[in-house]
Amino acid sequence: MPAVSFQSVSKIFPTSRGPFQALQGVSLDIQEGEFFGLLGPNGAGKTTLISILAGLSRASQGRVTVLGHDVQADFAAARHRLGVVPQELVFDPFFNVRETLRLQSGYFGVKNNDAWIDELLESLGLADKATANMRQLSGGMKRRVLVAQALVHKPPIIVLDEPTAGVDVELRQTLWQFVARLNKRGHTVLLTTHYLEEAEALCHRIAMLKNGRVVALDSTSQLLKSTNISVLQFKTDAPLPAALAGLARVTGRIVQLPAQDAAEIEHHLAALRQAGIAPEDVEIRRADLEDVFLQVMNAAAEGQTS
């Protein structure tokens, strides 16, 4: 039995311009104990899919189950098995951190779990904030509390919707170390993130969404093997010639150019020399998940326009 099963899930929202289809027949299974990544650009349907999983939104068509429990017909049982960390920082300003976690425990009928709350506080770097009011916490600390709230009833399935968006490096490392430990203990993890290096390092399998459709679904290792692209990477302050500018991914001074083979790498270097550009810190590397993601998204876009 899958931990989570999405079966031909579609979602249509009414808008002033007419119906908008956010999800189009999404089908995928997440197995127990997996660390599963759900990737896609903004508006791809990731959060809509998670909202349906959590019972916060109803699918227009299809069915979603959590360990065999339908998220609509058997909502209480399905929700009890999920721990969901939302994107938004939602908190009650009238309680301190420990009180917040005790209150959340009560929603699931869990009592006398102070030892587990203490472990959560320690593992997430919140031990010294246990008596602090939620209003006094920084954004990063509030996000740590959201993670603790999602885990306070020890759910077998953990859903992380952009959990490290806009937070510091220390929290990211603390969170991933703790979640990785929980995954090794048997917890299933579903992650959405825009930090593709995190997905590459953590996820066993990955699904990529675009315009509400699954456009790729495979193990992380197979996705990385699926492309024969190499990447020419260098630094420069000079503007690239037009022939390269359309191909390049530029981040500050760092330029990355995809290449199919050694001949194309030499072609790129020749174009730089002809333009009078002397690149710094030149290296050739294998494609990473971000390269694969861009290739998949571009291929999906070409398929939709052809």
Question: Could you read off the pLDDT of 54-95 as tens digits, one per residue?
Answer: 988 999 999 999 999 999 999 999 999 999 988 777 777 888
> What digits encode the pLDDT tens for the residues 174-195?
888 888 999 999 999 999 988 8
What is the average pLDDT across 138-165? 88
What b-and-e string marks burial along 153-182, b requiring 16 or more CB atoms within 10 Å of the CB?
Answer: bebbbbbbbbbbeebeeebeebbbebbeeb
| CA 165, 168, 169, 174 torsion-angle sign | negative
Mean pLDDT, range 230-249, rounded to an integer: 89
- The DSSP annotation for 236-268 comes to -SSPPPHHHHTT-EEETTEEEEEESSHHHHHHH
Cβ atoms within 10 Å of 47's Cβ, excluding its own: 20
3-state class of 275 per DSSP?
Answer: coil
Mean pLDDT, all residues of the chain = 89
- The larger pLDDT score, comparing residue 275 to residue 229, is at 275
In this prediction the pTM is 0.84
Please give the Cα distance from 221 to 61 (Å, whole number): 32
Q: What is the average pLDDT across 219-246?
A: 88
pLDDT at 101 over 70: yes
Stronger pLDDT, 189 or 251, i.e. the higher one: 189
* Tokens 């260098």 sit on residue: 234
